[in-house]
Structure 1
């Protein structure tokens, strides 16, 4: 890491142009691509009193001569944090566009709003291809990250475009937006409670004994607190209407990964019970991949959900009292489990380098619903198989799938299974809720 003296260095502060150069120099080897005008090009604005570098808030200081600067040590700290991020470019999360989704709530005073910015840029410029040709050399960055270099565009039916980013980048941008929101709210609180007028020349930020900027435990960059079941048993339809709930959710850490700040309330669409606050990345990972309202594609991430991280995810799904009492999962999740786990031995394989490779892509559909279990039938198939485009592997009645799942749950996560059972039905709705439209998808349905 370079330690050269940067031009514009004055008493620990460097100019914004010098900070831009330092940021690019320090992050040259980062897995996350960075932009060359991170502090001087929109959405960065030094006049707001801060800039975002990754998920790090760097305070801006205006010298008596009117020039804006930032502490060099904070730029180096932000670069070190970004360099520690590992990114798998094959692990993608869809970031838009979402047809029929309600307009997202605008965070007060927050400038980043990265999802809206990405969608707006691409729609305004006519998609990533034409945009790239029209504005060659224009810096595209959010929180110092050059998102255009890692954006993936996928086209369906030759007309419909969707945009995707690596999961690590989504987590990073969510954390940046969360840090900015807390910073803005803290600044507004200080402004409202302080009766002292700020002098024209702002003093340097206070520093601790280690040379870092001092922050209080309740400051804007304070670590979100762990979720400890505070919302257990509450209905989403009631809780989501309470004022200030989104700000309350943001104070928790994600209940699954336990590192990123929470942004949404994950809930059971069948029983309406809140499960836990999650970050956007974990919420996307948990969501089934619907092709139609009763047909899902079984994605590769189910290997983690049902194998390497099975016990943790099962405990999360069973935070819903309805699913826990019936010792099962919502129908799309149960269908995915049936295809991915119970029917794994039926999936054909083909020769490949280093052994045999599972054939095609798993798909599972169902007729009926869990509300009429006798008539509900799961059909597991494999698409794109050389020996048959839609090869049916098995047809499993819903009740049989539930019994298989209960047996597997006891073997895989005995503590989760021990907490479930039909004797815990007190307080549950007499009838399951009807299917609710998934506002984060293309008008499809989730349970």
Structure 2
């Protein structure tokens, strides 16, 4: 029988059973589904993770664990502000070639690996060895099973996806727990014997420092091999969203330069959706990259000296921009049955021949596939140089500050030994390459 929570009693300690009831009640209307056993399904320990926050527990007389009611209410209030779009998902596994690391039972660290372990094939040895044990029903108080998306290609190929908002929450929780286990206690998590907090609450990312261009102009191939770089990256907040802890070094795959440390969510958001080696699907994410969140992404992409000096983007991104922005008026529309207005037709795709290294022969082809009428329509063929010129014009209108910092005459901070810009000696247009 669930324990009762006395309304208005927010100043002292409550049992873990009462905390479960309180957490479930406060988050019942949240956009992120939560677990009703966030506390009692966790092992007795000094903390419980709720959303992106570490909530401290204390061991009361009699050996029972308790938690401050105010801390539970605050974590629930933070979670209730999170907006989750079930269509905006991030792949969380399985990934090949990732070395297995030592598991820490009862800890959220490496939550992707824990989910992967739970979702292994029923006949696998590891799965069989854990039969009869307690299943991992939640992570950080979030019922991840209710929002997990599983996609299957063929008979064996499977992939698992979670909404981007939840991935960011779990990344923040992973960072907060790591800080706790390393002995870095947040001021908000210090409790007195009667459960009162010593100081005011603090944000889980308060210990992180903003990225200030410390890795500017460095090559990813060199920097990624340096000892301790992972720990250094974890000390920054994401340079794009500035809300989640950084976990990876984003870099320009075309020029090889480090852009900035970013979180997993932002790193997957800007990654092109490749259909094949020289073509991509222009999905809904590009609406954010080039429209709503352009002010954040354009400066980030131009952290690469090669892209900034040439006032361009890596070829897959430039191709997506050409299809999504430059060819937008060319895309046909149709009227759905039973509704008013018109919607864009089919699936937008763009492919290319050649590469950025040979601009004279590089050609972008924009097409629409999967049209409701069964038509596969060719929209445009845009030469690479023309796409670069159009992008430069649009950049000057959309982000004047970024455009001002770019340009072929601004090579002062371009490393002498650079891999990026390959000279084009074939004739006109040398200013671009």
- Give the TM bin, normalised by the shorter chain: 0.7 to 0.9
- Inter-partner Cα distance in structure 2 for 1:93 and 1:126: 27
TM-score (norm 1): 0.82
Confirm or deny: 8 A CA contact 2:118 2:136 kept in the other structure.
no
Summarize the Cα distance change of 1:246–1:181 in structure 2 as closer, same or farther, 3 Å threshold: same
1:296 pairs with 2:280: yes
- Tell me which residue corresponds to 2:6: 5
Task: Determine helix, strand or coil for the equivalent of 1:385.
Answer: coil
What displacement does 1:264 show? 1.4
Q: CA RMSD in A?
A: 3.3
The answer to whether the 8 A contact 2:109-2:178 is kept is no
Q: What do residues 240-262 of structure 1 show as CA deviations (whole Å, max 9, x unaligned)?
A: 22222222222222111111221
| Equivalent-residue separation in structure 1 for 2:309 and 2:225 (angstroms) | 26
| Aligned partner of residue 46 in structure 1, secondary structure | coil
Q: Deviations over 1:27-82 (max 9, x none)?
A: 112111111221232xx3323x2111111101122234222222222122211211
Q: Which residue of 2 aligns with 1:36?
A: 36
Change (3 A) 1:108 1:33: closer
Alignment check: 8 A CA contact 1:271 1:429 kept: no
Aligned residue for 2:63, secondary structure, equals coil
Offset of residue 155 of structure 1: 2.5
Cα deviation 1:12-38 (Å, max 9, x = unaligned):
222222222222122112111111221
Shift in Å, 1:5: 2.3
1:427 to 2:415 alignment: yes
Give secondary structure in 2 for the equivalent of 1:230: coil
Is 1:96 the counterpart of 2:93? The answer is yes
1:2-401 equivalent positions in 2, closer than 5 A: 4-5=5-6, 12-41=12-41, 44-47=42-45, 49-98=46-95, 100-103=96-99, 111-125=108-122, 140-157=137-154, 159-186=156-183, 205-206=191-192, 211-214=196-199, 222-352=206-336, 353-401=339-387
5+ residue gaps, structure 1, are 128-133, 189-203, 435-447
Give the aligned partner of residue 197 of structure 1: none
Distance 1:13 1:430, change over 3 A: closer
Write the deviation string for residues 162-187 of structure 1: whole angstroms up to 9, x where unpaired: 22111111111111111111111126
CA distance in 1, matches of 2:366, 2:416: 31
Quote the Cα distance in structure 2 between the aligned partners of 1:220 and 1:312.
Answer: 22
Q: Distance in 2 between matches of 1:72 and 1:92?
A: 33
SS of the residue corresponding to residue 60 of structure 1 reads strand
Q: How many angstroms does 1:431 deviate by? A: 4.1
Deviates more, 1:53-62 or 1:331-340: 53-62
Gaps of 5+ in 2: 125-130, 423-433
Q: Could you tell me how far apart the structure 1 residues matched to 2:416 and 2:375 are?
A: 43
Q: Is the 8 A contact 1:371 1:432 kept in 2?
A: no
- Provide, for residues 389-431 of structure 1, a one-character-per-residue CA deviation record: whole Å limited to 9, x for no partner: 5322112121221111112112221211111111233425454
